């Protein structure tokens, strides 16, 4: 059984991080040059971590499977980044951001981690402004803010509808500077295919060059994974098609516990599915819910009518009706389930009936079209490119879709997994969002982890490692890990099936969405756990992977990723079946209040479920980390 020591500092909540920084071990500046750190992933968390660690003096190797870190999925984030600056003078504070995040996550996150995130948020904005990130500004020159779901203050900083892109350019600039100075070695087109554990500690990785097919061994004193989320287990999602679980899944198979894998975020503001031909879904930023009003017709017979012909009194602005305090800015899980509810009643719009309207007519009448264009113009352009509809003239059509995963590898307060030397940042870990992430908090966590947390905490681990003691890449553990990758590659290429990888990915996505998606039941999850092993067996028997291993082979890349997704799907369904409660994005239909809200069971499930791999063909072990709430009372969320 894994040892789960959260390493949460003692003392008052507001003093924990400051106290911890004064007590953790330090590495002598002269010795930092003797340590090598591997960073896998170069999105916001990975790029900021690599740049900051190199600035401190460590030797850093940065790996990214893209041809440039600028292609990392962080670039797709649109709406903004939260920070408790209180520039609007509307009552915001570090504690309020902390509380909103804990409440938004339905009381399933660690208090200490979340409070640290809220503290560090104020520094992130200053860092990014210094880098030249072009945040929107008010007329007087102060940085502008807008509102996001789950908050009654305006704390979201933004750069039109391309905040993630601008923040990533800032982090990429910092990374490029250190590459130019020789402090970071950047390896593009390299995908991590295994973690190397030596004497119980993470000491390196195996990578496959996606252009040449070459497998290489890399040794280090510590390994950082910042590889994003695993929402593509559902096939159709708002993730980039390359986003995958492979890095953290291979680490899971080497002993790292997987925390709360079933916690999946469904975003309420996505362009609806239109056909089986689609490879991904497109997000319309939550920022649109500041000025857009969400509605469906009150009568089923009006659903196919032109929305302009439906009178105001015949429209149901259901979020404003159901949640008057927060209205259209209700948290994502609540807004998504509300959309599903009205569509299940037969009042959904569009050809499939799985859609609701996001209407800007009120905002345009109130503010004028130029003001709306200034705030959201590029988002309206994206919508027009995809749908060929003008959202200034007719309401957008939206529906919930998979957008983020709150689960990930288990980490302690130092962001180190239960495998010593393996650190996990950003969406790849489980730590800060509980069962539901509030909008604009993903960018905040990624940059907090990379710029301000791991540069402190990794030193605590490295101080206990003798400089220059990292193993040779020729050590037996490295050879075994490389052989493991070669064997899997050969198995995929040797399959004599007839079905392409995409065939199995689509079927996996259908199983996961139907039985472990926005709503879950015991019967559905049990059925999924019967179907997924059959799908796995059929995959290995019937998949066709053309080409060879010693060249560019995207079919081979995708086959390895889908094989991992199928195994992950089983763990997600097992986790969802075992957690007999509803909380945040994990909605079990058997556990709900009469008004349809989540019914938690804090006595039995007020904990983190950290699953431990027990070997191929063996059921995983479910470890538990209790969530001890000292400073906040667990209560039923109320956004009404």
- Which residues, in sequence order, are CB contacts of 483 under 8 Å at separation 6+? none
The listed CATH number (3.40.50.10190, 1.20.1250.20, 3.40.50.1980, 1.20.58.100) that belongs to domain 476-604: 1.20.58.100
- The Cα 119–Cα 126 span in angstroms is 13
So what's the pLDDT on residue 78?
A: 87
Contact 622, 611 (CB under 8 A): yes
For residue 399, give the 3-state DSSP assignment.
strand
Q: What's the chain's length in residues?
A: 640
Q: 302 pLDDT exceeds 90?
A: yes
| % residues pLDDT > 90 (the chain) | 95
So what's the pLDDT on residue 462?
A: 98
Query: Confidence class of residue 276 from pLDDT cuts 50, 70 and 90?
Result: confident
Is pTM beyond 0.95 here?
yes
- How deeply is 29 buried, as exposed, middle or buried, from its count of CB atoms within 10 A (0-12, 13-18, 19+)? exposed
- Residue closest to 167 by CA, chosen among 367, 359, 366, 440: 440
So what's the pLDDT on residue 161?
A: 87
pLDDT digits (tens, 9 = 90+) for 157-216: 999 889 999 999 999 999 999 999 999 999 999 999 999 999 999 999 999 999 999 999
Q: 97 pLDDT exceeds 90?
A: yes
Q: 413 pLDDT exceeds 90?
A: yes
- Please tell me the class of the 267-403 domain: alpha beta
Instruction: Locate the domains of the chain by residue range.
Output: 267-403, 476-604
**CA of residue 36 relative to chain centroid, distance:** 27
| % residues pLDDT > 70 (the chain) | 100
pLDDT digits (tens, 9 = 90+) for 580-617: 999 999 999 999 999 999 999 999 999 999 999 999 88
- Residue 561 CB neighbour total at 10 angstroms: 22
Q: 279 pLDDT exceeds 90?
A: no
Active site residues: 332
Q: Which of 268-277, 540-549, 595-604 has the lowest mean pLDDT?
A: 268-277
**Mean pLDDT of all residues in 458-482:** 97
So what's the pLDDT on residue 535?
A: 98
**Mean pLDDT of all residues in 517-537:** 98
Q: 565 pLDDT exceeds 90?
A: yes
């Amino acid at each position: 059984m894994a040892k789960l020591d959260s390493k949460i500092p003692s003392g008052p909540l507001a003093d924990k991080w400051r106290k911890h920084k004064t007590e953790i071990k330090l590495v002598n500046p002269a010795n930092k040059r003797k340590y090598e750190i591997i960073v896998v992933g170069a999105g916001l968390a990975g790029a900021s971590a690599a740049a900051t660690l190199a600035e401190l003096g460590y030797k850093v190797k940065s790996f990214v499977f893209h041809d440039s870190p600028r292609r990392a999925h962080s670039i797709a984030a649109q709406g903004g980044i939260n920070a408790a600056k209180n520039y609007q003078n509307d009552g915001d504070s570090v504690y309020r951001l902390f509380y909103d995040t804990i409440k938004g996550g339905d009381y399933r996150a660690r208090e200490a981690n979340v409070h640290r995130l809220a503290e560090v948020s104020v520094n992130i904005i200053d860092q990014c402004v210094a880098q030249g990130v072009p945040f929107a500004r008010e007329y007087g020159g102060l940085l502008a803010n807008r509102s996001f779901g789950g908050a009654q203050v305006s704390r979201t900083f933004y750069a039109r509808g391309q905040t993630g892109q601008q923040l990533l350019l800032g982090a990429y600039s910092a990374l490029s500077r250190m590459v130019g100075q020789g402090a970071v070695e950047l390896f593009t087109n390299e995908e991590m295919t295994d973690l190397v554990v030596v004497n119980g500690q993470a000491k390196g990785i195996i990578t496959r060059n996606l252009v040449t097919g070459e497998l290489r061994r890399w040794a280090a004193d510590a390994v950082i994974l910042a590889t994003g989320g695993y929402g593509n287990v559902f096939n159709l999602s708002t993730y980039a098609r390359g986003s995958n679980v492979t890095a953290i899944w291979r680490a899971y198979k080497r002993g790292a516990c997987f925390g709360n894998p079933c916690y999946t975020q469904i975003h309420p503001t996505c362009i609806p599915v239109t056909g089986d031909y689609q490879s991904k879904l497109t997000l319309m930023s939550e920022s649109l819910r500041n000025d857009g009003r969400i509605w469906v017709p009150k009568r089923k017979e009006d659903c196919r009518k032109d929305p302009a012909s439906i009178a105001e009194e015949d429209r149901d602005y259901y979020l404003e009706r159901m949640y008057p305090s927060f209205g259209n800015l209700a948290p994502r899980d609540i807004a998504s389930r509300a959309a599903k509810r009205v569509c299940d009643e037969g009042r959904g719009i569009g050809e499939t009936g799985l859609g609701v309207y996001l209407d800007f007519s009120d905002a345009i009448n109130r503010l004028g079209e130029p003001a709306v264009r200034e705030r959201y113009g590029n988002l309206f352009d994206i919508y027009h490119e995809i749908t060929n509809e003008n959202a200034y003239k007719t309401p957008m059509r939206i529906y919930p879709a998979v957008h983020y995963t709150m689960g990930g590898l288990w980490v302690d307060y130092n962001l180190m997994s239960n495998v010593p030397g393996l650190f996990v940042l950003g969406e790849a870990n489980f730590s800060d969002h509980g069962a539901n992430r509030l909008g604009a908090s993903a960018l905040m966590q990624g940059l907090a982890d990379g710029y301000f947390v791991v540069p402190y905490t990794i030193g605590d681990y490295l101080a206990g490692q003798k400089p220059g003691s990292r193993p040779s890449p020729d050590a037996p553990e490295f050879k075994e890990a490389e052989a493991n990758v070669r064997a899997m590659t050969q198995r995929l290429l040797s399959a004599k099936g007839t079905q392409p990888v995409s065939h199995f990915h689509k079927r996996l996505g259908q199983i996961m969405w139907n039985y472990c998606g926005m709503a879950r039941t015991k019967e559905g999850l049990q059925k999924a756990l019967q179907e997924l092993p059959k799908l796995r067996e059929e995959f290995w028997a019937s998949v066709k992977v053309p080409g060879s291993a010693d060249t560019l082979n995207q079919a081979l890349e995708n086959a390895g990723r889908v094989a991992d997704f199928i195994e992950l799907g089983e763990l997600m369904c097992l986790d969802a079946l075992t957690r007999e409660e509803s909380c945040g994005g994990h909605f079990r239909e058997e556990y709900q209040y009469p008004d349809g809200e989540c019914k938690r069971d804090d006595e039995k499930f007020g904990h983190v479920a950290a699953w431990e791999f027990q070997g191929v063909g063996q059921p995983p072990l479910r470890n538990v980390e209790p969530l001890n709430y000292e400073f906040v009372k667990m209560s039923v969320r109320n956004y009404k």
